[in-house]
């Protein structure tokens, strides 16, 4: 069995709380770019504040910076005609990961999506988290929101920047190769496949750092369908198994498999305080209802569950033993559900630093205490029959999807 990714010293890490702060940080970095910007996102919406990110990419390309943008074929699909033309005129190179085609998601292989949210600027700094290029105060299905989404990202300098850049560049050249194959340009396709296997020289950092960055040990975790099929899940299992005092997990779409559920239950039974911050507002039928059948066993073992109700929860983060001599925290794109852990391309950053862990822990506790509703066993057992029926239907549909895909969870 492969080990989880090693953590390395010497990183400068900054926690970013919310889309507004994330957009500001990305735009600042892109506006300072001198050679290359690489951006991957599941959703690029172009509405409201998100348009400012698009404008920054456009400005960079117009001044000669090489800009590579990859969006997912489900989360984003085709770019709006206006922005597709603006990007083309500016020189922004854009690729769509796994376009759906005529049959859409009826083909199980197309359930494998690009869910990573990554950005690298000049090979010197990287961004990783759960935040899409989507206005925090707007939802495409629900309109204007009363409060911004709860979500996080990290800005990093150090060795993991090279890892992020390599994984993004490999994907880019693979997409280029597929594009050339469809155009029957096989020599170029072969060249692109060769480029996808190359390791890039790391452009060492220029010493510029944000004042609130923390020097920390950190590492990059990936999930894909080749070399990193279970790296993120194994990292969670190891960290949960080593927890001594406290585990706090915030997940937008939480449906852990048997191993993660068992690890959380065992942790609670051995005296570790386990708190989950989960989605409390209805967003999608499957994600909202399929999780609730697993509440019972967790609550019975002493796991505390809080449902975030102030707005939509989109975070995929965790903190374990923040005040100890072995703090562990992760921020990224991966939910603890089968879509993230078995199908999608995901990326998380793990940080082993007390200051960072305490900072993230404090924010999550605030959200649980001030913006969430605690769920106890009595409340869970007394929910209406029609809600329990929908919960079971959603859970059954999720199991059916896993059966069709041929994956075990």
Mean pLDDT of the chain: 90
Give me the pLDDT at residue 195, please. Answer: 52
Among residues 72, 122, 151, 337, which one is catalytic?
A: 122
Among residues 180, 228, 316, 361, which one is catalytic?
A: 316
Among residues 11, 115, 180, 306, which one is catalytic?
A: 115
Biggest CA–CA distance in the chain, Å, is: 65
Q: Which of 94, 31, 108, 21 is nearest to 62 (CA)?
A: 31
Whole-angstrom CA distances from 345 to 10, 38, 74, 257, 259 are 27, 16, 13, 18, 21
Does the annotation mark 314 as catalytic?
Answer: yes
Give me the pLDDT at residue 201, please. Answer: 46
Among residues 117, 228, 289, 306, which one is catalytic?
A: 117
To the nearest whole percent, how much of the chain has pLDDT over 90?
78
Query: Exposed, middle or buried: residue 170 (CB in 10 Å: 0-12, 13-18, 19+)?
Result: middle
Does the annotation mark 321 as catalytic?
Answer: yes
The tens digit of pLDDT for each residue in 68-100 reads 999 999 999 889 999 999 999 999 999 999 998
| Angle at alpha carbon of residue 288, lines to 337 and 70, rounded to 5° | 55
The tens digit of pLDDT for each residue in 341-384 reads 999 999 999 999 999 999 999 999 999 999 999 999 998 999 99
Query: Exposed, middle or buried: residue 71 (CB in 10 Å: 0-12, 13-18, 19+)?
Result: buried
Same fold, 12-196 and 217-405: yes
Give me the pLDDT at residue 155, please. Answer: 98
Query: Is the predicted pLDDT of residue 233 greater than 80, yes or no?
Result: yes
Query: Is the predicted pLDDT of residue 190 greater than 50, yes or no?
Result: no
Query: Is the predicted pLDDT of residue 207 greater than 80, yes or no?
Result: no
Give me the pLDDT at residue 402, please. Answer: 84
Give me the pLDDT at residue 180, please. Answer: 52
Q: What is the average per-residue pLDDT within 108-115?
A: 88
CATH class given for the domain over 12-196: alpha beta
Least confident window among 34-48, 109-123, 184-198, 287-301 = 184-198
Give me the pLDDT at residue 179, please. Answer: 62
Distance CA 120, CA 161 (A): 7
What secondary structure, in 3-state letters, does 207-255 show? CCCCCCCEEEEEEEEEECCCCCCCHHHHHHHHHHHHCCCEEEEEECCCC
Give 134-184 as a DSSP string.
Answer: S-TTEETTTEE-SS--B-EEEEEESTHHHHHHHHHHHHHHHHHHHHHHHTT
Does the annotation mark 316 as catalytic?
Answer: yes
The CATH architecture annotation of domain 217-405 reads 2-Layer Sandwich (3.30)
Q: What is the average per-residue pLDDT within 182-203?
A: 49
Q: Are 30 and 55 in contact (CB under 8 A)?
A: no
Does the annotation mark 289 as catalytic?
Answer: no
Radius of gyration from C-alpha coordinates of the chain: 21
The tens digit of pLDDT for each residue in 11-27 reads 999 999 999 999 999 99
The tens digit of pLDDT for each residue in 27-59 reads 999 999 999 999 999 999 999 999 999 999 999
Give me the pLDDT at residue 196, please. Answer: 47
Among residues 72, 314, 361, 391, which one is catalytic?
A: 314
The tens digit of pLDDT for each residue in 243-271 reads 999 999 999 999 999 999 999 999 999 99
Among residues 72, 151, 224, 321, which one is catalytic?
A: 321
Q: Where are the domains of the chain?
A: 12-196, 217-405
């Amino acid at each position: 069995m492969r080990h989880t990714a090693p953590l390395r010293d010497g990183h400068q890490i900054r926690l970013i709380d919310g889309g507004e702060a994330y957009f500001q940080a990305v735009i600042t970095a892109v506006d300072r770019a001198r050679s290359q910007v690489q951006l991957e996102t599941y959703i690029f919406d172009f509405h409201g504040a998100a348009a400012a990110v698009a404008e920054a990419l456009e400005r960079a390309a117009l001044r000669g910076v090489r800009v590579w943008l990859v969006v997912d074929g489900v989360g984003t699909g085709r770019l709006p005609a206006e922005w597709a033309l603006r990007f083309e005129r500016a020189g922004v190179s854009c690729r769509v990961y796994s376009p759906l085609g005529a049959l859409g998601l009826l083909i199980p292989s197309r359930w494998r999506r690009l869910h990573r949210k990554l950005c690298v600027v000049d090979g010197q700094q990287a961004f990783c988290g759960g935040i899409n290029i989507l206005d925090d105060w707007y939802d495409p299905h629900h309109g204007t929101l009363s409060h911004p989404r709860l979500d996080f990202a990290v800005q990093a300098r150090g060795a993991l920047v090279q890892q992020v850049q390599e994984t993004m560049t490999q994907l880019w050249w693979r997409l280029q190769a597929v594009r050339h194959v469809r155009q029957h340009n096989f020599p170029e396709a072969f060249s692109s496949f060769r480029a996808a296997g190359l390791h890039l020289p790391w452009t060492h950092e220029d010493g510029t750092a944000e004042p609130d960055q923390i020097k920390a040990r950190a590492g990059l975790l990936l999930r894909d369908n080749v070399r990193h099929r279970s790296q993120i899940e194994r990292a969670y299992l190891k960290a949960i198994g080593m927890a001594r005092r406290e585990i706090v997990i915030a997940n937008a779409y939480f449906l852990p498999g048997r191993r993660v559920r068992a690890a959380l239950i065992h942790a609670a039974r051995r005296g570790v305080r386990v708190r989950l911050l989960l989605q409390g507002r209805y967003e999608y039928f499957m994600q909202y209802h399929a999780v609730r059948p697993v509440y019972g066993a967790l609550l019975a073992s002493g796991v505390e569950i809080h449902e975030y109700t102030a707005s939509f929860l989109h975070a995929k983060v965790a903190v374990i033993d923040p005040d100890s001599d072995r703090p562990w925290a992760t921020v990224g794109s991966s939910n603890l559900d089968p879509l993230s852990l078995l199908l999608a391309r995901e990326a998380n950053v793990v940080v082993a630093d007390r200051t960072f862990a305490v900072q993230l822990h404090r924010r999550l506790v605030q959200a649980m205490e001030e913006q969430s509703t605690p769920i106890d066993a009595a409340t869970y057992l007394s929910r209406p029959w029609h809600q329990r029926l929908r919960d079971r239907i959603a859970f059954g549909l999720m199991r059916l999807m896993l059966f069709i895909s041929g994956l075990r969870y």
